[in-house]
Amino acid sequence: MISWKRLHTQTHFVFIYGILFSFFSFAPSIASAEVKLPSILSSGMVLQQNKTVPVWGVAQPGELISVKIGRQIKRTIANKNGKWQILLEPVPIGKTYEMVISGKNTIRLTNVAVGEVWVCSGQSNMSWPLNRSRGGSRFIKDSKNYPGLRRFDVVRTIHKKPQEDVKGIWYQGKKKIWRFSAVCYHFGLKLHKKLRVPVGLIHASWGGTGAAAWTPMRILKSQRAFYPILARQKKWEKRGYKIGRWRYWKRYRRWRRAVKRARRRGRRIPRRPRRYRKRWHNNSPSALYNGMIHPLIPFAIRGVAWYQGESNVPRAYQYRKLFPALIKSWRARWGQGNFPFIFVQLPPYRYRGLKTSAYNELVEAQTMTLMRVKNTAMAITNDLGSLYNLHFRRKHKVGKRLATTALGSVYKKRKVYSGPIYVSMKIKKNKAFVYFRHSGSGLTSKKGRRLRYFMIAGEDKRFFRAKAKVNGRNTVVVWSKRVPNPVAVRLAWRDYMRPNLFNKEGLPASSFRTDKWKGITEGKF
C-alpha cells in the first residue's frame, strides 16, 4: 500500500527537480538570447555618410530591440530565428557618436565616426603589408597623425557556407598598422586628406586566390561558363581525399608500431593520428566570399577597391564573364544599388610558363568589364610594376593611383582620373587612325621620345612593328611600309612591354588590340 505522505513528498521532489532541470537546461539558451552584434559593428567604426545605415544582429525571438544614435531612436522586433535589422536615417557628419543598442541587455558602441567607407579586397598585392612596402617604416610612424583614418582587418576565413560573422576589430592611428594592406592604407589616406572626412577601410584579401573564391556559389552554378570551375574543384577534392587517406593509413601503421614499443618499454602510449577529413582551401569556389565578404553585408559602404587577377591570367578569357559576375553579385547581395567598384589594372609582369600575351588578355578582360559594367573605374598601373617581381614594393604609388581614380570617378574632384583607353580605329589609305578617350588635355609620349610598342597587321594576321605619332588631342596615327593594307593595330601586346603613351596629366595608356582574333587563353577553363 502506498503512503500518501510518502507520495506527497515524492511529488514535491519531482516538482522541485523539474524546476531545477528546466532552469539548468534552458540557461544556455537564455544566455544566447542576449542581444549580439557582428564584429563589424563595434566601437571605433565609421558609418557611411549620406546613406541609410543598417544595424543588425541576433536576440531572443520576439524580443524588442531599440537603437539610439544622436537624436535618432529606431525599434524593431527580432523574428522567429532571432534575427533583427534596423535602418537608421543618414547620420550627420562632424562629430563622434555613441550608439546604444538595447534589448534584454544593453550594448554601447563608443567613438563612432561618420565619413566614407570602402572595402579593399583581392589577392596578394592587395594584402601586401605596410611594413614590407617601400617607405613602410616612415608611413607607419606617420600614421599616428591621422586618427580619422580607421581600419578593420578581416581575419582570413574559409567556409563552405555563407557566414554571419567574422573576426576583426576597428583600429585607428598607429595600432596594428604595420600589418595592414599598404595599397588600401595609401588609398584611404589620400581620400582622407583630399575629402577631409573620416575614412573607414575594411580590408579582406588573400594572396594567390582566384576570382571564383570571391564569388557566391549561386552565381557559379547559374552560368554554363563557370561549370569547369566547379568540376575542377570536385577533381581537387577527390585527389585530395585519396592523398589524405593514403597519408592517414601510413601514419596509422607507424602509430601501431609506436604503441607496441611503448607498451613493451612501459612508456606513455602516443596519441592516435586523426582521420582525414575533406577540407576546403582558399581557392575553393565561394570559400572566401562565404567566410570574409558575406559577414560584412549589409554594412553601409561607399564602394569597393579591388586588386586581383594574377591568379586568373592562365584563364583570362573566362575572366571576361567571371569578373563582371562577381561585381554584380556583390552589388545584388549588399542591396545598396550599383555602388562604385574601382579596380587596379594589372601592371606588366613576366608570367613563367605562360605565353607572353596571356597577361594582355587578362588586361583586356578588365578593360571589357570597365566598358560593360556600370559605375566601374580602372586604375592603369603599367608604369609602376616590376617585370620580374610580382610583389613590387612601390605600393604607395598604386594606392595613390587608385585614390586618384576614385576622386575623379566617384567624388568628381578631378576631371582627368584615368590614362588613355582605346575607343575606335579608322583606316585611311595605308594608315590606321586610333582614337582614345581619357586623353585629358592631349596625348603625348613619355619624356618626348618616339612612341613605341605599336604593332600593325594586314588580313594575313602577321604583326609588324609600326611607327606611330600623336595626331591631335586624342588620336594616334600608326603605319608600316610592310603593311600596305592594315586591318588591325595592337599596343604593348606582350607581358614585358611598357607603353610610353600618356596623357599630358601624366597617366599611362592601357595596352589594347583592335582585332577580335582568337586569343591564346580562349577555351581554357
Q: What is the pLDDT of residues 299-336, one digit of tens each?
A: 999 999 999 999 999 999 999 999 999 999 999 999 99
Taking the mean position of all CA atoms in its chain, how far away is CA 304? Answer: 7
DSSP calls for 109-154: EEEEEEEEEEEEEESHHHH-BGGGSTTHHHHHHHGGG-TTEEEEEP
Rounded Cα distance between 344 and 383, Å, is: 12
C-alpha closest to that of 365 among 211, 209, 157, 252: 211
pLDDT digits (tens, 9 = 90+) for 127-142: 999 999 999 999 999 9
CB neighbour list of residue 516: distance below 8 Å, 6 or more residues apart: none
On the question of pLDDT at 494 being above 90, the answer is: yes
Q: Burial of 64 by CB count in 10 Å (0-12 exposed, 13-18 middle, 19+ buried)?
A: middle
Do residues 97 and 112 make contact, with C-beta atoms less than 8 angstroms apart?
A: yes
Among 93-97, 241-245, 285-289, the range scoring the smallest mean pLDDT is 241-245
- What does the DSSP assignment read for 227-280? HHHHHHHHHHHHHHHHHHHHHHHHHHHHHHHHHHHHHHHT-PPPPPPPPP----
- The Cα 483–Cα 320 span in angstroms is 31
Give every CB contact of residue 510 below 8 A, 6+ residues apart in sequence: 345, 363, 367, 378, 380, 382, 419, 420, 421, 422
Look at residues 58, 40, 59, 57 and name the one whose alpha carbon lies nearest to residue 48: 40
Neighbour-count burial for 347-380, b at 16+ CB within 10 Å, e otherwise: bbbebeeeeebbbbbbbbbbbebbeebeebbbbb
406, 191 contact by CB (below 8 A): yes
Average of per-residue pLDDT values in the chain = 90
Q: What does the block give as the cell for 496?
A: 614585358
Question: Which uninterrupted H or E stretch holds 379?
Answer: strand 376-380
To the nearest 10°, report the CA torsion of 138, 144, 145, 147. 140
Q: Residue with C-alpha cell 531545477?
A: 20
Task: Encode pLDDT of 394-406 as tens digits.
Answer: 999 999 999 999 9
Q: What pLDDT score was predicted for residue 265?
A: 86
What would the mean pLDDT of 340-367 be, rounded to a whole number? 95
CA-wise closest residue to 445 among 423, 426, 471: 471
Is the alpha carbon torsion for 113, 119, 125, 128 positive or negative? positive
Residue 7: per-residue pLDDT: 33
How far apart, in whole angstroms, are the C-alpha atoms of residue 72 and residue 219?
38
Predicted confidence (pLDDT) per residue in 399-432, tens digit: 999 999 999 999 999 999 999 999 999 999 999 9
pLDDT band of residue 238 (cuts 50, 70, 90) is low
The pTM for the full model equals: 0.88
pLDDT in tens, 139-149: 999 999 999 99
The pLDDT tens digits for 56-83 are: 999 999 999 999 999 999 999 999 999 9
Residue 49 Cα to chain centre, angstroms = 22
Query: What DSSP state is assigned to residue 380?
Result: E
pLDDT at position 2 is 37
Q: How far apart are CA 102 and CA 86, in angstroms?
A: 12
Please check the confidence at residue 161 and state whether its pLDDT lies above 90: yes
Q: Are 369 and 502 in contact (CB under 8 A)?
A: no
What's the grid cell of residue 177?
598598422
The DSSP symbol for 474 reads S
- pLDDT class of 13 with cuts at 50, 70, 90: very low
Pairwise CA distance, residues 228 & 210, whole Å? 14
